[in-house]
Amino acid sequence: MRILLVEDDAALAEGIAKRLRTENFAVDVAANGEDGAHLGETERYDAAILDLGLPKRDGVSVLRGWRAAGRQLPVLILTARDGWSEKVEGFKAGADDYLTKPFRVEEVVMRLRALVRRAAGHANNRIVCGPLCFDAQLGSFELDGLPLKLTAFEWRVLSVLALRLESVVDRGELIERVYEFDADVDSNSIEVIVARLRRKIGASLIETVRGRGYRLTAGSA
């Protein structure tokens, strides 16, 4: 999963991004509203964290621009502005959630996971595919009831496939969901990650749909 973080406080942004990466998220950081607006309009993200008091362009304007452009990514506003009128303005602009500073980063992680899960159409936290279970709220995988150890890249690919269970996800979308903006991506990187996942969870669970992409399936579709 890939997150856009738009925050002008460098120390705060670094701390949030560091924690999100330890939770296996890919994170792109923008330090002002103009850069954040551009990334949100041109890149593919699972969710965005958006401050309101940004230089160059304020957060409400950025959010309104995304929604006017048809960008449907879930947005968590993270701001020191805690007035009721400002919260109303944020939600009217298209926010999905609103959290005021100070905050615990653990809460940011949990809210993000909930936003991503709901945006993917899952009411239940647990997504089951045969012997594989993904707890989308905890961010954990189990295989045959036992914890499954994955690298960050493996987790990102498998989580995207799990959230789109029984649907084909094309290779290009996987690349966009797995790697950060400035990453140096090898041409066969997704194939390598999928091959490793198949060794860990069983080859039959990840189907290659020739010319289209990959599908996580229990064999019922």
* Whether residue 221 has pLDDT greater than 50: no
Query: So what's the pLDDT on residue 85?
Result: 87
What SS3 string covers the chain?
Answer: CEEEEECCCHHHHHHHHHHHHHCCCEEEEECCHHHHHHHHHHCCCCEEEECCCCCCCCHHHHHHHHHHCCCCCCEEEEECCCCHHHHHHHHHHCCCEEEECCCCHHHHHHHHHHHHHHHCCCCCCEEEECCEEEECCCCEEEECCEECCCCHHHHHHHHHHHHCCCCCEEHHHHHHHHCCCCCCCCCCHHHHHHHHHHHHHCHHHEEEECCCEEEECCCCC
- What pLDDT does 101 receive? 86
**Given this model, what pLDDT does residue 205 score?**
96
pLDDT at position 180 over 50: yes
Q: Evaluate if residue 94 carries a pLDDT over 70.
A: yes
How far from the centroid of its chain's Cα atoms is residue 199's Cα?
Answer: 25
Region 4-8: mean pLDDT is: 97
Cα distance between residue 153 and residue 87, in whole Å: 35
Structural domains present in the chain: 2-119 (3.40.50.2300), 126-216 (1.10.10.10)
Q: How far apart are CA 213 and CA 215, in angstroms?
A: 7
- Report the pLDDT averaged over residues 77-94: 88
Q: Which is higher by pLDDT, 185 or 42? A: 42
pTM: 0.91
| Omega before 102 within 30 of 0, i.e. cis | yes
> Average pLDDT for residues 116-136, to the nearest whole number?
94
What mean pLDDT value characterizes the chain? 93
